[in-house]
Amino acid sequence: MQDTLRTRMGWLHAWVGFAAGLVLFCVFATGCLAMFDTELTRWCQPEAPPQTDTFSPRSLDRLLPDVQDLIAQGEKPFITLPSLRDPYLRLQHHDGYEFLTVPYNPQTGERLAARVTVGGTFFYNLHYTMRTGIYGETLIALAGLALLVTIGSGVIIHLKGLVSDLTLLRPFASRLRAWLDVHVVASVPFLPFIVLMAYSGTFIRARTLFPPVSYTASIENVFRTPAPSVPETPEKQPAPPSRPFPPLAPILSEAERTLGTGQVGFILFLSQSILVSRTDASGPLLTREHVDFSPVDGHVLRHVLLPSPITHTQQVLDGLHYARWTGYGMRWLYFLSGVMGAIMFASGSVIFLMKRRRQSGRKIMFRIAEGLAIGSIVGFLMATVAFFWANRLLPIALHDRPFAEGYVFLAVWVLSMVAGLGWSGLHRPFQGWKIQLFCLGTLGFFLTPLDLATRPGASLFHAPTVFAATDLVALLVALVSFQMARRL
């Protein structure tokens, strides 16, 4: 083969793309779900009805005993105020993996009898750590850099025929041609979004790859302090019994004088201060501006805002990546773009395997690669739908219920990975793809009946809510899976 720029870039695109693509498929898929993390948490707590009373600041004080309890357990709790996305007051804390959340009536401050769940934040955590703490963060940041390399090489490969390729989609052409068309059509129109997400996402986790100290010092540091086997679960020291907090309504009112009316997002309780922070929905800059109050008498301690041009650039990148300031239209656009990104990785991986099947199809490495592809693509989606099934079917009184939901997800994913490797090892990969696609379709198809059967007060024809949207997306995934299983 002639050695040209395109062949060299083709090699880089294929190998770096496949190696990082399986991880990036999961990252993009979880990113899509994390875009609606609050809404998914509401789906996971069906006991909380879609509509509720309006917010009264006096209700905040009713949450304080529960805040004190969490502080006594060594947690750092915070209260999120009602917003357009979520009408409830929520008391949250981080359990070492996810933010666990309890809903409260926003007018009375009464705790709602909703099931304990990990909710949508499960996918948020999975998106950037893969539930493996700093190791997962580093791996995903590395995959982000690989994505930038893959995009660059892909653009160079397709530069000549970029526009003509874009207008071609031949689903009934030869299989390889059809998959190539899907790959190009899914990637090129959404290229600006994918570049933005790759750059801003890698930048947000830049400290893992590019620490401001030398690598030698970083590695020495790792060996000096033994790494924990489980991520970010520091020993929580029970805090001494704390004083009662001052009333929160005057604090909220004082904070709104600085941040603006309706601009408070959450109230964080620390031992030395109460932080009243600006809502992430206030604008494209994720400023995390906050006003700090004394936990003793509630007087203002300080107002913190980082105003330099570099910090503003960082806040813009964060804001564009998290997209918490956007309305539902933009949020769905992000979701669609993320789905297209995931399709780009999945189709790229399939093309990589198809091109090498004739020459290397019987090699063990090829069999492993195909097994991993089955598990990473179909298996991941299956585990995601299984998570929602677990949320509704696990007993409500189950001890450590949030962990159990996570374990169901991981068990289905691992099982799918093993089954994929097994079918691939037996030289029957198509069987593996088909069976798993069929399982995914079945789980997705029956999620709507499950939702209707296990949600209190559910009716078949209800107003568009988080429940309807989640069920419809699952149904769509099911139909696509059935069609793919049929055509494969």
Binding site for other proteins (CB under 8 A): 3, 5, 8-9, 11-12, 145, 148-149, 151-153, 156, 199, 202-203, 206-207, 210-215, 308, 310-311, 313-314
Nearer to other proteins, 2 or 459 (CB): 2
Q: Min. distance of Cβ 12 from other proteins in angstroms?
A: 5
Which residue number, 3 or 297, has a Cβ lying nearer to other proteins?
Answer: 3
- For residue 267, the 8-state DSSP code is E
Closest CB to other proteins among 132 and 208?
208
Q: Give least dist CB 138 to other proteins, A.
A: 14
Angstrom distances, CA of residue 356 to CA of 362, 368, 369, 486: 10, 13, 11, 23
Give me the least distance between CB of 284 and other proteins, in Å please: 17
Those residues whose C-beta lies under 8 Å from the C-beta of residue 342, and which sit 6 or more positions away, are 25, 28, 29, 32
Question: What is the closest distance, in whole angstroms, from the C-beta atom of residue 309 to other proteins in the complex?
Answer: 8
Whole-number minimum distance, CB 287 to other proteins, in Å?
15
Comparison of 56 and 314: residue with beta carbon closer to other proteins: 314
Choice between 226 and 307, CB closer to other proteins:
307
Question: Dihedral angle at the C-alpha atoms of 327, 329, 332, 333, nearest 10 degrees?
Answer: -110
Strand partners for 292: 275, 302
- CA gyration radius, the chain: 24
> Minimum distance from CB of 325 to other proteins (Å)?
21
**Whether the Cβ atoms of residue 231 and residue 133 lie closer than 8 Å to each other:** yes
| Residue 421 burial (CB count, 10 A) | 18
Tell whether the torsion through CA atoms of 421, 425, 429 and 431 is positive or negative.
Answer: negative
For residue 140, what are its two tokens?
Answer: 């995903």
CB of 131 to other proteins, least distance (A): 24
Question: Mutual orientation of helices 447-454 and 466-487 as an angle, nearest 10°?
Answer: 150
Alpha helices in 4-132 (DSSP H): 5-34, 37-44, 64-72, 121-129
Residue among 198 and 421 whose Cβ is closer to other proteins: 198
Question: What count of residues does the chain have?
Answer: 488
Q: State the minimum distance, in angstroms, from the CB of residue 438 to other proteins.
A: 39
Cβ proximity to other proteins: between 203 and 266 the closer is: 203
**Residues 103, 49: Cα–Cα separation, whole Å:** 11
The answer to whether 354 and 411 have CB atoms below 8 angstroms apart is: no
Nearer to other proteins, 19 or 178 (CB): 19
Tokens of 438: 């069929």
Least distance to other proteins, CB of residue 13, Å: 10
For residue 13, what are its two tokens?
Answer: 């695109």
**Residue 15 vs 135, nearer CB to other proteins:** 15
Q: What's the CA angle centered on 412, arms 470 and 368, to 5 degrees?
A: 120
